[in-house]
Amino acid sequence: MLCETRDLTKIYRGNHGVPAVDRACVSVDRAETIGFFGESGSGKSTLGMMIAGLTSPTSGQILFKGERISMRYPKEVRRSIQILFQHPETSFNPQLELIKSLTEPYRVYGLPYEYSEMLEYLSGFGIYEEHLYRRPSQLSGGELQRAALARILLVRPELIILDEPTSMLDVITQVQILNILKRYQRESDAAFIFVSHNSTLCRSFCDRIYSVQKGVFTPMDKEE
Amino acid sequence: MNTEKKAGRAARRTFRMNPAMTAGIIIVGILALTAILAPVIAPCDPYQYGVPYEKPSADHLLGTNDVGQDIFSELLYGTRVSLLIGVFTSLVVTVIAASTALVAGYYRGWPDKLITAFTNVMMGLPNLALTTLLVAYLNPGKISIIISIALTAWTGTSRILRSRIIQLCEMPFIKIEKSLGVSDGVIMVKHLIPNLRDVILSRAALSVSNAMLTEASLSFLGFGDYGEKSWGNILHYAFYQKGVIRGFTWWYLPPILCIALSVMGFMLIGYYGAQRKEDGTDA
């Protein structure tokens, strides 16, 4: 199993002890896509954030490649688990030109950087040189989401949490994003956790689905 | 050339949109010029003694004080001290406030609790009394005044910046940077501070006006820098040498007007910045 959670619970302060995520036991294997399907506020994004190491759990465990990981992820685990958010317009620093945000992974992980190679890589996501020197506010939602995807795939993650990544996009861009993800999964055996409130999309994109209600994660039949 | 044109257009648009901001910039600009050019434009040496209590005349535009020093020249030189203390205090305030806010807002948990508790205690203390006590303890002088005002004036800015940092940390782009493994220091310097620029600048402008006012109060109370001319100092002597009782308006009114005008100038800039942020009209 690539990643699993054991009795993972999150209780936010001021929520009168009501868990946002209640003893969640979910697992995802390599090359697998699992879905968290539920209403807004049901806790599906919170679990995604905990697995990504961005929110600390109140109790429970997260295991990655069989080893328990604590809140401060080691660099390699950090690199292996990435997250793509719903709102592309807030996925980049509004003060920086796109190129500065896109080259950050090269610097952080010491990846070999060649401008022309980066341009070629980005063209696979429909991002070209003319986009690179603009600020996020000067780009469309679709362009930004493709750029956000390009940035996280640069570090070759093994697990990607997709937090409603297509809900703010038009149908054409949705298809583009999902196709890029499927292609990456075929190439790298990466696992995806797909968070969505769209049942049709969840059923078509995921291998297994967890239904989420009031923080409780229950495996459900895809045909249900 | 193109960039210059764009900058010019942006400046014109800003001025058209906000006359208050324009007024603030003009006032502060005049103040800065006066401070720089004081030795050139001052008609007399402000430290030179002469005939006391002269009324305004062609030789002494604002008359002379109790020891015959030219009040107009004193006023021009006073701009230097007031502005210098205002600006440097604001710098120190901004550094203290930004550092504490970054640690509290970014890391949360016990550092946040500790800093917030300390900020609350500091906010509960009477500022002017504490500043006066500190200046008296450190011996009056420019540096001690700057340190004393800064140590008591950072709390408001820190609290505002902390809440803004907490908001920013909830934004996906900060979460993505964390998820990508970008170090805390880089996130703070490259991603948080640039997004706090407008708040920092507006609060810094307000800090300058606050510091100038406090410096004037301290000097008036006799805790100013004795070796230097400042507006508060002029007021101090006007009051204690009975200039106010005798009705020598040319002695005590000009420093009051200068203090009021400069405080207003910085406040207009500061409030404009804050308003611009709230309206979301920043670039």
Q: Flag if B175 and A90 touch (Cβ within 8 Å).
A: no
pLDDT of residue B10: 64
Q: Flag if B176 and A49 touch (Cβ within 8 Å).
A: no
B108, B110, B179, best to mutate vs chain A, most A CBs in 10 Å: B179
Residue B33 falls inside a structural domain: yes
The residue extents of the domains of chain A are 3-220
- Tens of pLDDT along chain A (224 residues) come to 899 999 999 999 887 889 999 999 999 999 999 999 988 889 999 999 999 999 999 999 999 999 998 877 888 889 999 999 988 889 999 999 999 999 999 998 888 999 999 999 999 999 999 999 999 999 999 999 999 999 999 999 999 999 988 887 888 888 989 999 999 999 999 999 999 988 888 888 999 999 999 999 999 877 76
A173: three-class secondary structure by DSSP: helix
pLDDT of residue B274: 65
Residue B9 falls inside a structural domain: no
Residue B8 falls inside a structural domain: no
Residue B117 falls inside a structural domain: yes
Residue B155, both tokens: 């709390």
Rounded to a whole number of angstroms, the distance from the CA of A219 to the nearest CA of chain B is 27
Nearest to B171 by CA among A85, A142, A82: A85
B126: three-class secondary structure by DSSP: coil
Chain B contacts of A98, Cβ < 8 Å?
none
Note the pLDDT tens digit of each residue in B187-209.
999 999 999 998 999 899 999 99
Residue B16 falls inside a structural domain: no
pLDDT of residue B186: 94
Amino acid making up residue B242: K
pLDDT of residue B140: 76
Rounded to a whole number of angstroms, the distance from the CA of A200 to the nearest CA of chain B is 26
Q: Flag if B197 and A75 touch (Cβ within 8 Å).
A: no
Q: Flag if B172 and A53 touch (Cβ within 8 Å).
A: no
Tell how strand A33-38 and strand A191-196 pair up: parallel
Residue B34 falls inside a structural domain: yes
Q: CB-based contact (8 Å) between B26 and chain A?
A: no
Residues 6+ apart with CB under 8 A from A25: A4, A5, A6, A7, A8, A217
Contact (CB, 8 A) for A46 and A60: no
- CATH C-level class of A3-220: alpha beta
d(CA A54, CA A72): 9
ipTM for the whole complex: 0.88
Q: How many CA atoms lie within 13 A of B15 on its CB side?
A: 10
Note the pLDDT tens digit of each residue in B68-93.
999 999 999 999 998 999 999 999 99
Contact (CB, 8 A) for A92 and B175: no
Q: Flag if A90 and B197 touch (Cβ within 8 Å).
A: no
Contact (CB, 8 A) for A20 and A43: yes
Note the pLDDT tens digit of each residue in B117-169.
999 999 999 988 999 999 988 877 889 999 999 999 999 999 999 999 999 99
Residue B4 falls inside a structural domain: no
- Residue B224 or B212, more confident: B212
Residue B140 falls inside a structural domain: yes
Residue B279 has pLDDT above 80, yes or no: no
CATH number of B124's domain:
1.10.3720.10
Rounded to a whole number of angstroms, the distance from the CA of A217 to the nearest CA of chain B is 24
Residue A75, both tokens: 């660099």
Q: How many domains does chain B have?
A: 1
Note the pLDDT tens digit of each residue in B23-39.
899 999 999 999 999 99
d(CA A119, CA A217): 41
Domain residue limits at B80: 21-279
